[in-house]
């Protein structure tokens, strides 16, 4: 049961299956992909998958969790100066944007697609990914306002606007916007400028 070597084997096999599932889902989409597709890609028998995952949906959820974990690993703003508004904003924007590797692109597409439609997955996404980020960010904004570093804006709407902006850019990139894809690297700076100062010409 708790044999560490067994656990490693189990984890390895799970990852093998999830890697295959991620590839297949990304290629064909979740609904079009079959368990046999995943099994073939993983080089195992279809039935074996059910020794490690409850059902097809569980594969999607596990993939989702892996994405969440890999994302949380990135979301560390520890080294930032507390009053460095611009630095924080840039990091806040750049971190998720840069995590959207070309490897993850198609997988993210599938997960987002299912999030829209699957209530349970949607709740997970809201609670485990969006939620914590919003709370952390909102505290920073409140601090800055108290310090007079930024205008006294509605922090709740502000953090949602920021995260929506990021999410929307990702989705639009996924949709195939060429300019976004070629200029993706320059987004953090451009966005930070916009958020800090807006577009209005100085008068």
Q: Which residues bind DNA (CB under 7 A)?
A: 6, 9-10, 13, 32-36, 44-48, 50-52, 55-57
CB-wise, 45 or 126, nearer to DNA?
45
Q: Which positions from 3 through 42 interact with its own copies, judged by CB under 8 A?
A: 29-31
Site string for its own copies, 43-82 (x = CB under 8 A): ----------------------------------------
Task: Give the total residue count for the chain.
Answer: 203
Number of neighbours of residue 156 by Cβ within 10 angstroms: 11
For residue 150, state whether it binds its own copies (rule: CB under 8 A): yes
Kindly state the tokens that stand for 98: 């840069």
What Å distances lie between residue 107 and 74, 102, 147, CA to CA? 18, 9, 41
CB-wise, 28 or 68, nearer to DNA?
28
Specify the DSSP element, H or E, that contains 181.
Answer: helix 178-182
Q: Are 196 and 162 in contact (CB under 8 A)?
A: no
Q: Are 110 and 25 in contact (CB under 8 A)?
A: yes
CB-wise, 41 or 97, nearer to DNA?
41
Long-range contacts of 68-73 (CB under 8 A, 24+ apart): 68/128, 68/129, 70/99, 71/96, 71/99, 71/129
Site string for its own copies, 81-120 (x = CB under 8 A): ----x-----------------------xx-xxxxxxx--
Q: Identify which of 57, 54, 51 has the alpha carbon closest to the alpha carbon of residue 21.
A: 57
Tell me the closest approach of the beta carbon of residue 11 to DNA, in angstroms. Answer: 10
Site of interaction with its own copies (CB under 8 A):
29-31, 85, 109-110, 112-118, 122-123, 125-126, 130, 148-151, 153-154, 156-158, 160-161, 163-169, 171-172, 174-177, 179-180, 183, 186-187, 190-191, 193-202
């Amino acid at each position: 049961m708790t044999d560490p070597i067994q656990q490693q084997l189990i984890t390895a096999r799970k990852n093998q299956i999830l890697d295959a599932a991620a590839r297949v889902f990304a290629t064909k989409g979740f609904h079009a992909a079959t368990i046999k597709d995943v099994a073939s890609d993983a080089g195992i028998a279809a039935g074996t998958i059910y020794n490690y995952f409850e059902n097809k949906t569980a594969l999607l959820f596990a993939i989702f969790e892996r994405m969440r974990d890999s994302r949380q690993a990135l979301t560390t703003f520890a080294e930032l100066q507390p009053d460095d508004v611009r630095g924080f904003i840039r990091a806040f924007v750049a971190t998720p944007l840069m995590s959207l590797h070309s490897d993850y692109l198609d997988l993210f597409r599938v997960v987002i697609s299912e999030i829209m439609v699957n209530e349970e997955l949607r709740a997970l996404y809201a609670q485990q990914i969006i939620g914590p980020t919003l709370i952390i960010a909102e505290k920073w904004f409140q601090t800055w306002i108290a310090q007079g570093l930024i205008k006294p804006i509605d922090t709740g709407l502000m953090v949602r606007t920021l995260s929506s902006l990021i999410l929307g850019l990702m989705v639009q990139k996924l949709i195939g916007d060429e300019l976004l894809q070629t200029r993706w690297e320059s987004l953090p700076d451009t966005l930070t400028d916009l958020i800090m100062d807006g577009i209005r010409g100085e008068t």
